[in-house]
Amino acid sequence: MKILVTGATGLVGQGVLRACQASAAVERLAVLVRKGGDAPAGVEEIVLPDFEHAADVASLLAGFDACFYCAGAPPVGTPEPEYRKVTLDATLAVAQAWAGANPEGRFLYVSGAYAGPDSHMMPLRIKGETEHALTQLPITTVMLRPGGVRPVEGTGTRHGALKPLYALGGPMMKLAQKLTPGMATSNEAIGRAMLALAAMPTPPAVVECAEINTLAGS
């Protein structure tokens, strides 16, 4: 498969990229990044400083089988206008450009558990609106809804305020992933699940946390 990953430097994206690098099924791997120079050796870079201008690089997005969209803003501490801009506007701009360049391709979006346009929680409401907008595109879309996401060893968050949370909660999330797979998963498990979904003849439209873990074999 030929895979494009967005948000590869974020907590989720780091694990997804690792899963792609480890998979023998991936013959071409690229990342869509805002600035160049961060991709590991052997991973292509497509540089786009503003994701809302994805149409400007549409020709560079062609030739892939699937886009694993992991980019987003932290749900804690991000003002609503900024969260909407990053979560909805930028995602939809990339997805629209992707759909035009890869009409037979698949767009897999990392959303969140309980996302819905009627949610009383701002992050989940905007993610729900984003899910709905993506389903209107003329391509196959898959929404992944993880619960808590645990960074595997060698990965982590870039946001200083969240680092203590993951450092303290990581072991508990690992245990929760085993005992209650509907509540938590790991960033690398999300990547393995995405690869499995990308290879399916007819993937489900929505994948909840427990199914993410099942698909990942974790």
pLDDT of residue 128: 97
| pLDDT single digits (tens) 3-49 | 999 999 888 999 999 999 999 999 999 999 998 887 888 899 999 99
The number of CA neighbours under 13 Å toward the Cβ of 169 is 17
pLDDT at 143 over 80: yes
pLDDT of residue 160: 52
Give me the percent of the chain exceeding a pLDDT of 70: 87
The number of CA neighbours under 13 Å toward the Cβ of 137 is 29
| pLDDT single digits (tens) 151-198 | 887 765 565 555 555 555 556 656 556 666 778 899 999 999 999 999
pLDDT of residue 75: 83
| Beta carbons of 11 and 68 less than 8 angstroms apart | no
pLDDT at 72 over 60: yes
Residue 40 to residue 47: CA distance in whole angstroms: 14
pTM: 0.89
Give me the phi and psi of 91, to 5 degrees please.
Answer: -60, -45
- R_g of the chain computed on alpha carbons: 16
Give me the phi and psi of 83, to 5 degrees please.
Answer: -60, -40
